[in-house]
Structure 1
Amino acid sequence: MSRLILNKLILQGTTYKRTISFNKGLTIISGEKTSGKSLVLSLIDYCLGKSGKIDFNVQRELDKRCDQVFLEMSINKEVLTLKRLLKEKQTKISIYFCSYNSIDEYTPKTLDIPDAMKILMNKLNVDEYKLIRHQKHSNKKEIENVSFRDIFRYVYIHQHELGTGDFLGKKDNFKARKNPHAFKMIFNLVDVDKEALNEQLVKVQNEIEDIRRELFGLNAYLEDLDETDKVILHLKSGKLQEEIEKNKKRKIIILEKSVNKSNKNDENKMYIKLKEDFNLISNKIFQFQNQKRKIQLSISSKEILIDDYIKELKEIEETLEINYKLIIPEQVIECPLCSSQIPGHNHKDIIKNENAEKTLHRIKKQILGKISFVKNLIEKENKKIEQLDKEITILSEKQSIYDDALSVYSKKTNVPYLSQIDSINSIMNNLTKKQEILKEGLRIHNKIEEKDKLIEDLKNEESRLIKSIEALQIKDDKKDIIFNFLDEEYQGFMKRFKYDTEETFIDRSLMIPFYNGASVYAHESGGLLECMQLSYLAAILNSKIEGHGTGHPGLLLLDSISKYVGTLEKNPEVEGDTTNTEEKINDPEVYDEFYKILIELSLNHQIILVENTPPDKYDSIYTKYTFLNGEKGLIDAEKNELEQIAY
């Protein structure tokens, strides 16, 4: 059973960091209005590919303190961390194939949102579905992808959708028309043609081969660096880190002594400033050189890839030459026993196959296209190296100027403990550079492991496609089993909410819940709609346990479930006072049943609930965070993890 579990959300800026962790079962986030409760779910949604930006006119504290957000998750025991910037390049998502704490040792895969969502779909063992539709006011057709974002509508129910007619984004025609297809993907009810599956299978097999070629280049690079043992690299990096920490502590002690000397000489301050600038330039040069090495590695891998493509192209051309251009004249074959003569078959007529020839020409064209594409990438990377070389040259000239200035100042000034500070800075700088080189080796090792895992995922996809080709037609009895189960579960939950089950079902063509013969979009009562929606979502989750809803990620994000079962009533103790109000639950039994069902679901699925004031008996057990208005909300200065780390 493929399952996505959210581990933690990390909000981060240059001077601020806060981590919000989640239970694997039920997590309740409570608090006052406008304290940032719903923002937690919005940021999860943002990391998982939401197209809109975060509105900083509303989220001012987030704007002030944070510029990026991370989401660590587990999919089938594999840990991934997604990173998305808040203020620039919002159309990109970076994927680290590791936990958040290990991202320094990994190189992220930075992708456009749709491509990042494809990776999540592959990890969940679900194939994207292409939907063909007619363009408006035209006979032309266009293709739309039904993707992870469409399935995610069955996971995250926004507070403005729950208990309303906008359930599953119904008011957005673009989303609404894809909902039935997303439902089919969840339950593997999509009927596709054999040719499309075969094309997809070939694409996957080619991708596996391309990754194997990349792995060859990465392993060759590690051998050249003599860094093939990952365990030794980890040990070396750990020892260097210990040395860096020791020198940091020594430097702090010396600086404190220097301060006690009350040195106020302006020339000394100038010397220290020059030294800091000199070190910054040195570090920048090192960073550019490091970037240059990585690009050179990338070019080497691509050159190996081009060599392989050229060999493949040669084989295709030879096959075309032999089979479709070489003409063997007709021959007369004489029988050695009776001397009778038999006309020989033309070799060209036997071998020539028009479809096969077209296929070979198409493959040849694809290979030529790949060679051209990779060469263009190499050309762009060579231009990047040229630019880096220019930057390094400019910085080296600046470094030389600063070095001359420092030599003059060092003769004229008498800075207390200067030689010790310089010595420690020099040691720390060298240790940091050595550690960065080791980390580069570790990143390559991790990249190799990541690609090995990708090959494993692609092989699983290959097996899945082969099985789909073998069993193309969806059996009616399978569909009956799924909907019978869903109906039974849906009706069971509706009974628990005190509704009868006559004409209560999930429609098999619209794929939406009905009550009393009317759909979830026909009813107007907010309380009834909320019960229908929660029963429907709970039925889908429970079906996953039975092996039906395999395409559902297996989690649920809900915002404010008390909205339509509670009402604001005047406090009877203060008659006539309309400002003094308290929240009363209009139907406490149904409200309590909501929580009981969510707790039951959380035994096998992750549930994250945002609620202002959950009932006391559940609050003490499942509430992980309680936010208050103002400074004690989600962006809480006292919870800043960067200030809690000792220098």
Structure 2
Amino acid sequence: MVVKSPKLIINKMVLIGRSKSYHVNFENGINIIHGDSDTGKSSILNLIDYLLGSKKVYMYDELEQHGKYALLEVSLSNKVYTIKRDIFNPKADIEVFSSNIENIENVFPLEYSPNYEKEGAAGYFSDFLLSSLNIPIIKVKKSPSKENSPMVRLSFRDIFKYCYFDQDDVGSRDLLDRKNYSLMAKNKETFKFLHNVLDTQITELQNMIGEKVREKKEIENKYGAISSFLLETKLSTEGSLQAEKEELNEKLIFLEKEKNKITDKMKSNNAEMEELRSIVLEIEQKINILFSKKSHKEAQLEQNLRLKKEYYNDINKLQTVLQVKDSISMLNYKVVECPLCDSRMETSEIKKHFIEHNEDVLKKEINSIKNRSKDLNKIVDELRDELFIIEDEIISNRTQLDKAKSILDTKAETFISPYISQRDMVISELSSYKEQLDKVKYFLKVRSQLSELKQKQEVIANQISELDSRLESLKEQTPSVEETLSDLGTYLKEFLEYIPIKNAYGISFSEKTFLPIVRDREYIDLTSGGLRTLVSVGYITSILKNSLINETNFPSLIMLDTIGKYLGKTKKYSEDADGAKESKIEGLDDPKKYIRIYDYIQKMSNDFLEKGIEHQIILVDNDFPDDLEKDFAQYVVKRFSTEDKEGYEIGFINNAN
């Protein structure tokens, strides 16, 4: 069973830090991240989302203090790429390498703009993702109901809304921007596009085939021009260059060993060397002082980040006082009835029990704290810049230290004449071979670009063939909105009956909003937060399932954060009294229902993997029952605990204080 829905598979994510790197590896099928609250679980999904083009990283102290940039290795329709992005500068271009993470030094990166405000050297990042996934790049009406509505781009970010539900989305009444008419209208067009039911779907597909044919022709011309140039310059083939590289590496290893043997025989104890040795010691002391300064600045940065958070809390408290003051105004004399005992009371008497604050004083204090917060932001930026400067100084001094040690060794040679000429000859050969190796590596990069063009040519040819097949399929049997919604409703019903929920009737997808309906009630009207959680999980799971059965534009990946929300598993999320009462009536505090979410997802995923249909499901949760811990251990890619437990990490940033 081969389904031609796009395939986006995440292989690994790496956060490069100041002192170490933080890795998360992923597999096909189910991937689970679980552990205690505030250990960085959600930040892993947030970083993946950012590396796939979202506007910002949600910073927290450890990430801000230790992180520098992030890497994401992905497979886009079976072609591996590595995406690199600065976590502190979301407007900077995103670098894309046509290789896995380990080999990014061997290829030249392409630079893409993260948004449509300006074009990057290689174009727009969203267009790169869509093109690599063989998803048509189209425009849709901003307001579909209006004839003269302006057209807006349908970006990868619009599609990814249906792939990633963060901890605020799961169980939320405002799922998929339900309360924002403008965004909701575009989301509906995106939904139709995902399922090939847009009115213009066939036309858009024909346009994309034309674009792909033109792109293939351009690449063929470019390949021919570069190939002719390399032929004229008599540049060796990739195979010859690779063999030369291996030969040079072997020679370098041999010569390094020879140099070390000679060095071991040499002595450097002459009195004339003492001055040089003192210089080496002085530089080493400088480096130690710089490391001490670095630790001090890092401590200051951490302290100021904490103070910044305190200012934020103080402002919130003062603003709350102002709001309460406005709502309990007792300037005028009144006689009111007590809401508890119906006795009559004078507002002047009530007023005695409340402390009144001068509104101007409160506002001035808020402004004062905001000003201090702005100053603090400057200090944080300055400290971060100072840390970068100190790190550069450390690198510079280490370079000086290496040079001084090299001079020391060279001077020592003058007192050991039997070995000098022999060692010089080895060093000269080493230098010559290193230069040759650098040239070979550069030429290999050039050759790899040519190979990349050839591969791209083949990929586009396959994409054109796939698009032609999809076009023929659409022409023969264009799916209707009604048929698609019916299928999705069936999958949602299967999920909710499997859990099971009480009274599993009237389950479908709304023809008006494309959101779920349960018991003939719109999703937004479901009062139980626990039920909304189950329905939202079933909703995104049904969309994934449909993409693995039918031809769609859905990337075969879903990410869900905190799927135990409102199910009595996660203390952080509690409902209001009415919602909690409804959830209790629904029986959603039964731990078996929570476990059956995982059972359903496991069964669905395994069924498709057995048929050779690739996909990926990444789940994040807090409290993990012992039964799941044991039965789903094979799917766990990261687990965290604030306590010292074997097999657990203290957090994603696992060297933070």
TM-score range (shorter-chain normalised) is 0.5 to 0.7
Contact 1:37 1:634 in 2 (8 A): yes
1:87-236 equivalent positions in 2, closer than 5 A: 87-88=88-89, 90-114=91-115, 115-133=124-142, 142-170=150-178, 175-192=183-200, 200-236=208-244
- Give the counterpart of 2:538 among 535, 538, 563: 535
SS of residue matched to 1:521: helix
Give 1:431's aligned amino acid: Y
Q: Cα distance, 1:463 vs. partner?
A: 4.9
Q: CA deviation at 1:127?
A: 0.8
Partner of residue 620, structure 2: 610
Alpha-carbon displacement from aligned partner over 1:230-250 (angstroms, at most 9, x marks no partner): 122222223333444556667
Task: For 1:568 and 1:185, locate their aligned partners in 2 and report how far apart those are by CA, in whole Å.
Answer: 35
Match of 1:10, SS state, is strand
Judge which range, 556-565 or 617-626, deviates more: 617-626
Give the letter aligned to residue 117 of structure 1.
S
Q: Give the 3-state SS of the residue equivalent to 2:32 in structure 1.
A: strand
Alignment of 1:55-66 (within 5 A): 55=59, 58=60, 60-66=61-67
Corresponding residue of 1:7: 11
From 47, 54, 75, the equivalent of 2:51 is: 47
Change (3 A) 1:247 1:65: farther
Question: How far apart are 1:197 and its partner, in Å?
Answer: 6.0
1:22 and 1:414 mapped to 2: Cα distance? 56
Contact 1:70 1:83 in 2 (8 A): yes
Asked if 1:27 corresponds to 2:31, the answer is yes
Q: Distance in 2 between matches of 1:3 and 1:265?
A: 65
> Which residues in structure 2 correspond to 1:511-526 (within 5 Å)?
511-526=514-529
Structure 2 CA distance for aligned equivalents of residues 590 and 147 of structure 1: 36
Could you tell me which runs of 5 or more consecutive residues in structure 2 were left unpaired when the two chains were aligned: 116-123, 284-402, 572-586, 609-614, 644-648
The residue identity in structure 2 corresponding to 1:521 is: I
Q: For 2:459 and 2:224, how far apart are their aligned partners in 1?
A: 19
Give the aligned partner of residue 71 of structure 1. Answer: 72
User: Retained in 2: the 8 A contact 1:163–1:527?
Assistant: yes
In the TM superposition, what is the alpha-carbon distance from 1:531 to its structure 2 partner? 1.1
Conserved? CA contact 1:13–1:66, under 8 Å: yes
Is contact 1:122–1:461 with CA below 8 Å preserved after alignment? no
Cα separation, 2, equivalents of 1:480 and 1:431 = 69
Q: Displacement of 1:188 after TM fit?
A: 1.2
- Matches for 1:321-340 after TM superposition, within 5 Å: none
Instruction: Look up the equivalent residue of 1:121 and give its one-letter code.
Output: L
Q: Which runs of 5+ in 1 are unaligned?
A: 275-402, 570-583, 639-647
Cα drift, residue 519 of structure 1: 1.9
User: Following superposition of structure 1 onto structure 2, how do residues 75-474 of structure 1 map, counting pairs within 5 Å?
Assistant: 75-88=76-89, 90-114=91-115, 115-133=124-142, 142-170=150-178, 175-192=183-200, 200-245=208-253, 265-267=274-276, 427-463=429-465
Deviations 1:517-557 (CA, angstroms, capped at 9, x unpaired) = 22222323211111111111221122123224x21111221
Q: 1:244 to 1:592 in 2, by over 3 A?
A: same
- Structure 1 residues 418 and 480, CA gap change in structure 2 (3 angstroms): farther
Aligned to 1:337: none
Q: Given that residues 562 and 619 in structure 2 are in contact (C-alpha distance below 8 angstroms), is that contact kept between their aligned partners in structure 1?
A: yes
CA distance in 2, matches of 1:248, 1:408: 18
Aligned AA for 2:193? M
Match of 2:392 in 1: none
Corresponding residue SS for 1:607: strand
Say whether the 8 Å CA contact 2:71–2:85 is kept in structure 1: yes
Query: Superposition pairs for residues 570-609 of structure 1, below 5 Å?
Result: 586-603=589-606, 604=608, 605-609=615-619
Q: Name the counterpart of 2:372.
A: none
1:633 is matched with 651
CA distance 1:239–1:228, change in 2 (3 Å): closer
Contact 1:3 1:76 in 2 (8 A): yes
Give the 3 Å change call, closer, same or farther, for CA 132–483 of structure 1 in structure 2.
closer
Letter in 2 for 1:125: N
Q: How far does residue 203 in structure 1 lie from its aligned partner after superposition?
A: 3.8
Count of aligned pairs between the two proteins: 488
Give the Cα separation in 1 of the matches to 2:559 and 2:169: 12
CA 1:234 to 1:156, structure 2 compared with 1: closer, same or farther past 3 Å? same
Q: What SS is found at the alignment partner of 2:22?
A: strand
- What does the per-residue CA deviation read over 1:277-327, in whole Å, with 9 as the maximum and x for residues that have no partner? xxxxxxxxxxxxxxxxxxxxxxxxxxxxxxxxxxxxxxxxxxxxxxxxxxx
Structure 2 Cα separation of the partners of residues 468 and 445 of structure 1: 34
SS of the residue aligned with 1:626? strand
**TM-score, normalising length: structure 1:** 0.66
CA contact (8 A) 1:567 1:585 kept: no
Q: Secondary structure of the residue that 2:70 maps to in structure 1?
A: strand
Contact 1:268 1:413 in 2 (8 A): no
Shift of 1:474: 9.4
Instruction: State the alpha-carbon separation in 2 of the partners of residues 250 and 39 from structure 1.
Output: 49
Report the 3-state secondary structure (helix = DSSP H, G, I; strand = E; otherwise coil) of the residue aligned with 1:183.
helix
Change (3 A) 1:517 1:273: same
CA–CA distance in structure 2, aligned partners of residues 590 and 453 of structure 1: 48
Q: Which residue does the alignment assign to 2:646?
A: none
In structure 1, how many angstroms separate the alpha carbons of the residues matched to 2:457 and 2:16?
A: 33
Q: For the structure 1 residues 434 and 26, does the alpha-carbon distance in structure 2 shift closer, same or farther, using more than 3 Å as the test?
A: same
Letter matched to residue 489 of structure 2: D
The answer as to whether partners of 1:541 and 1:601 remain within 8 angstroms in 2 is: no
- CA shift digits 1:262-286 (9 cap, x unpaired): 9872335659999xxxxxxxxxxxx
Supply the distance in 1 between the matched residues of 2:565 and 2:267 (Cα, whole angstroms): 59
Deviation at 1:470, TM superposition (A): 6.9
Q: Secondary structure at the match of 1:556?
A: strand
Report the Cα offset of residue 636 of structure 1: 2.5
CA deviations 1:371-411 (Å, max 9, x no partner) are: xxxxxxxxxxxxxxxxxxxxxxxxxxxxxxxx9xx999978
Q: What is the RMSD computed on CA atoms of the aligned residues?
A: 4.0
Per the alignment, in what secondary structure is the counterpart of residue 177 of structure 1? helix
